[in-house]
Amino acid sequence: MNIAALVSGGVDSSVMVHLLKEAGYDPTIFYIQIGMEEKDGFVDCPSEEDIEITSFIAKKYGCRFEIVSLHEEYWENVVSYTIDAVKRGLTPNPDMMCNKLIKFGSFEQKWGKEFDKIATGHYATTTIINDKTYLSTAADHVKDQTYFLGQINYLQVSKLMFPIGHLQKKEVREIAVAAQLPSAQRKDSQGICFLGKINYNDFIRRYLGEKEGLIVELETGRIVGKHKGYWFHTIGQRKGLGLSGGPWFVVKKNPEENILYVSNGYDPETQYGKTINLRGFQYITEDIWGDFQDEKEITFKIRHTPEFTRGKLKKINDIFRIQSEEKIQGIAAGQFGVIYDSDSRLCLGSGMIIE
C-alpha cells in the first residue's frame, strides 16, 4: 500500500510513522508549510525545529521526505475565512477548515492523489459498517480530535488512516521514549498555526483596525464600559474586558452598532442555552436515519472538549435543531455543532451554528 504520512514534528505524528513502519508499511513523509511569513507582519509557523525533527524521523525509518508548500491555498481558504468570520461577528474555526480544505483538500489534489492512503497523527479512528467508512472517536476521549474533522467528506474519510487513534496519549509518549524519538517530550502545539508568534489580537488589529464601542449590560441596558472593536471579543469570554466588579461575560454582540453585551456574575443565566440551530449540515458518510419523522437521540459537541453532551436532533426544513439535555455555555454563531451517534462512537457530520 502506498501511504502519504503527514508529519509535523510533534510526538503524535512521529509515533504515527513508527507504527506504520512496525506494521510493514513504507510511507512517504510530507511536511506541509502553511505559515504566512511572506505576508506582512507574519512570522513563519513551520519552525526550523519542526522540519529538523521531521527530517530526522524520515532518515531514522528510511522514508522518502518531501517539504511541500500550501502557503497561498492556506491564505485563500483558511486565513481569509477567519478574518471574514470575525468581521461579521462570528466565531470561526480555522483548524476545522484547515483539515477539510488544506490537509485533505489541497494536499490531496496536488500530492495525495498519487497515494492509496493518507496517514495523520490525529486522535481519531475509522469504522467500517456495511462496506462504508465512518469517522469514529479515539480511544482517548480527552485527546479525541474528531470535532476538528467534522467537516470532512466521504471521499476524504475513506482515504484516511489514524495509526494512533487506538492509543492513550500516555501510551504514545511511552512509545516515543522507547523508540528514542526526538519529539518524545515536546509539548503539544497550542493556538492557531498560521499566526506563528503573533498575538491573536495583534493579527486581528492588523486587518480590521480598532473602533471604539460600548459595553452594555444585557439585562439592564446600562453602559458599563468601552471596547476597541467587537472583533476582539468572543461569546463566553471573561478575561480582557477591563471591567470592575466582575466577573463579566460576553453574551451577545451587535456588529452593526459595534456593541458588546455582557452579563455579571459567576453563573449568569444569559451565558447558557439548550437550543442550538445548525445550518448547512453535512453528513461525513451518509444519513444514517433516512426519514426524519421523529427526533433522534444523539450526542454532540460545539467546541473541542473531552465531554459529549446528550440531546435530541430534529430537522426543520433546512435547519438541524439540537435540544440539549443540559445547559451549554457560550453558544456562538459561526461555531460548528458536530453530531455523534447516541453512543458517542460515530462522528456523523456537522453544521454551522446560527442565532
The CATH number linked to 23 is 3.40.50.620
pLDDT at 84: 95
Confidence of residue 266 (pLDDT cuts 50, 70, 90): confident
Tell me what the pLDDT averaged over the chain comes to: 92
**Based on the domain organization, do 309 and 246 belong to the same domain?**
no
pLDDT in tens, 132-154: 999 999 999 999 999 999 999 99
Q: What DSSP line would sit under 121-175, residue for residue? A: --S-EEEEETTEEEEE--S-TTT--GGGGTT--HHHHHHEE-TTTTS-HHHHHHH
pLDDT exceeds 70 at position 190: no
The rounded distance, in Å, linking the Cα atoms of 86 and 332 is 12
For residue 235, the enclosing domain spans 210-266
Residues 6+ apart with CB under 8 A from 76: none
pLDDT of residue 35 exceeding 80, the answer is no
State whether 234 and 333 are in the same domain: no
For residue 189, the 8-state DSSP code is P
pLDDT at residue 191, as a whole number: 56
Same domain? For 293 and 215 the reply is no
All cell numbers assigned to 105: 483538500
What pLDDT score was predicted for residue 267? 85
Do residues 168 and 293 share a domain? no
Told to judge if 98 belongs to the known catalytic residues of this protein, a careful annotator would answer yes
Task: Using the 3D structure, point to which of 266, 282, 309 is the last residue of a domain.
Answer: 266
Residue 60: inside a domain: yes
Asked if the model's pLDDT at residue 43 lies above 70, the reply is: no
Read off the pLDDT band of 184 (50, 70, 90). Answer: confident
> Are 22 and 167 contained in the same domain?
yes
Residue 230: pLDDT over 90: yes
Query: What pLDDT shows up at residue 112?
Result: 97
Number of domains comprising the chain:
3
Among candidate residues 45, 63, 98, 347, the one labeled active-site is: 98
Q: What is the average pLDDT across 106-126?
A: 97
Positive or negative, the CA dihedral 281, 282, 283, 284 is negative
Q: Looking at residue 38, what is its pLDDT?
A: 52
48 pLDDT band (50/70/90 cuts)? Answer: confident
**pLDDT digit string, tens, across residues 312-352:** 999 998 999 999 999 999 999 999 999 999 999 999 999 99
Per-residue pLDDT band for 180 (boundaries 50, 70, 90) equals very high
* 174 and 226 inside one domain: no
Residue 157 falls within a domain, yes or no?
A: no
Is residue 63 flagged as an active site residue?
A: no
- Residue 280 pLDDT greater than 80, yes or no: yes
- Of 58-67, 214-223, 224-233, 281-290, the range with the lowest mean pLDDT is 281-290
CATH code where residue 341 lies = 2.40.30.10
* Whether residues 261 and 291 fall in one domain: no
pLDDT of 41 > 70? The answer is no
103 and 39 co-located in one domain: yes
Q: Identify whether residues 75 and 36 lie together within a single domain.
A: yes
pLDDT at residue 194 is higher than 70: no
Question: Looking at the domain assignment, is residue 106 inside a domain?
Answer: yes
Asked if residue 217 has pLDDT above 80, the reply is: yes
- Say whether both 328 and 275 belong to one domain: yes
Q: How far is CA 134 from the centre of its chain?
A: 18
Cell 524519538 -> residue? 181
The pLDDT value recorded for residue 201 is 84
> In this structure, are 240 and 104 located in the same domain?
no
Q: Specify the amino acid at residue 19.
A: L
Given the residues 45, 63, 193, 347, select the one marked as catalytic. 193
In a domain, 195, yes or no: no
- The answer to whether position 143 is within a domain reads no
If you compute the radius of gyration of the chain from its CA atoms, what whole number of angstroms results?
21
Report yes or no on 197 lying in a domain. Answer: no
Domain assignment present for residue 199? The answer is no
Distance between CA atoms of 229 and 95, rounded to whole angstroms? 24
Which backbone phi and psi does 238 adopt, to 5 degrees?
A: -115, -45
Whether residue 242 is found in the same domain as residue 94: no
Does a structural domain hold residue 245? yes
The residues, ordered by sequence, that sit 6+ positions from 32 with a Cβ below 8 Å of its Cβ are 6, 46, 68, 69, 70, 102, 103, 107
Using 50, 70 and 90 to split pLDDT, how confident is the model at 293?
confident
Last residue of a domain, one of 200, 234, 266: 266
Beta strands in the chain (DSSP E): 3-6, 28-33, 65-69, 117-119, 125-129, 132-136, 160-161, 213-217, 223-227, 248-254, 259-264, 272-283, 296-301, 309-316, 319-329, 336-340, 346-354
- pLDDT range class, residue 37, cuts 50, 70, 90: low
Residue 44 pLDDT exceeds 70: no
Distance CA 171, CA 126 (A): 20
Q: What is the pLDDT of residue 214?
A: 97
Residue where a domain stops, chosen among 229, 248, 266: 266
